[in-house]
């Protein structure tokens, strides 16, 4: 289905109106994702939906809206809001620029494995699912759909944004090393940790105070750790990456840890389907560098090997199941 600019604008207006309705029901600015004027927000949403590099941000905004919508106390109103949310989500996922339009399934591998994981949660413990994933394996889509199926909150870049608020730091000044948003950019390739820019003495003193004497990456990580542990005391949720599995393990907080990956060539093929304008050589290089970056990040903060099966409850080859059946697979595991 082809989407005209008018159709995209109508979809953007529905997203804005959904957010406004959730805000009205909650009566708190905490429930508002779009705080600016309607026309400006709608135009920004349309621009995002037209941009293959940024279209995933629309899904992240929807995740925030759904997280807040599930806290609406009136059951009938909540049901009506979630019905509209589901309708909007379906359209967003069908957009040509949506990252969810390319599956990872390899039909030749789609008949493997069973798993039995015993329940470890007490009555007062929240269900927390930590998902690590390789770039191009469909892990983000699996996590997002799993959260929707379980009616749970879904967190990814939202955690990084909240940490920046805690640190009173500008987004441009601190890069999200645990996420993938900065990885795929035309003519760009990921780097693990960039060299610090030259700063004046006053700027260094100001940064020293803001980050409590730590480097930016360490300050972000430790604040991120505190935030994840605080969240674990309050709610059920799914969190993507960010060493959350080891953070919760170190704090003895029950959780389920999952790692999602797929063969390199399958992941490259999927990225090529989604970013068809990218040359094969650049995609291959980017995927490999993204893997190296996350291997270094995970080892730096945990001392463990990223993707090593011994560190997870479940490792899934998404090429063997595809996105939807991977979600079904995890749901069946949780039911046991």
pLDDT tens figures, 185-238: 544 433 333 334 455 555 544 554 444 445 667 777 888 888 888 889 888 999
Structure tokens at 273: 């389907």
Nearest Cα neighbor of 102 from 330, 226, 295, 276 is 276
pLDDT at 326: 94
Rounded to the nearest integer, the mean pLDDT of the chain is 78
Q: pLDDT-derived band of residue 335, with 50, 70 and 90 as boundaries?
A: confident
pLDDT of residue 117: 43
pTM for this predicted structure: 0.62
CA 198 – CA 179 distance, rounded (Å):
25
Distances (CA, A) of 236 to 82, 231, 254: 18, 8, 11
Q: For residue 321, what is the DSSP state?
A: T
**Closest by CA position to 244, among listed 282, 301, 187:** 301
Mean pLDDT calculated for residue range 29-56: 79
């Amino acid at each position: 289905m082809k989407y005209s600019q008018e159709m995209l604008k109508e979809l953007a207006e529905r997203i804005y109106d959904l957010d406004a309705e959730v805000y009205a029901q909650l009566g708190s600015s905490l429930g508002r994702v779009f705080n600016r004027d309607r026309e400006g927000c709608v135009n920004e949403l349309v621009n995002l939906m037209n941009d293959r590099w940024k279209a995933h941000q629309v899904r992240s905004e929807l995740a925030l809206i759904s997280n807040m919508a599930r806290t609406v106390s009136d059951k009938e109103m909540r049901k009506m809001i979630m019905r509209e949310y589901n309708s909007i989500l379906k359209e967003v996922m069908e957009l040509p620029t949506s990252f969810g339009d390319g599956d990872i399934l390899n039909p030749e591998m789609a008949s493997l494995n069973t798993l039995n994981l015993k329940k470890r949660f007490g009555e007062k413990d929240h269900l927390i699912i930590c998902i690590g994933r390789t770039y191009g394996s469909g892990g983000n889509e699996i996590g997002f759909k799993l959260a929707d199926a379980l009616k749970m909150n879904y967190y990814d870049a939202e955690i990084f944004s909240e940490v920046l608020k805690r640190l009173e730091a500008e987004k441009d000044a601190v890069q999200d090393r645990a996420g993938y948003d900065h990885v795929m950019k035309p003519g760009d390739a990921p780097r693990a940790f960039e060299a610090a820019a030259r700063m004046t003495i006053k700027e260094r003193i100001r940064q020293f105070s803001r980050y409590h004497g730590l480097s930016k990456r360490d300050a972000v990580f430790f604040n991120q750790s505190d935030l994840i542990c605080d969240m674990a005391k309050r709610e059920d949720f799914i969190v993507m990456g960010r060493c959350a599995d080891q953070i919760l393990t170190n704090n003895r907080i029950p959780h389920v840890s999952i790692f999602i990956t797929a063969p390199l060539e399958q992941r490259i093929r999927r990225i090529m389907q989604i970013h068809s304008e990218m040359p094969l050589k650049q995609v291959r290089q980017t995927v490999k560098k993204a893997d190296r970056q996350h291997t270094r990040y995970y080892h730096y903060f945990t001392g463990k090997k990223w993707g090593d099966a011994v560190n997870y409850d479940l490792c899934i080859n998404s090429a063997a199941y595809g996105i939807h059946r991977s979600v079904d697979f995890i749901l069946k595991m949780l039911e046991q």
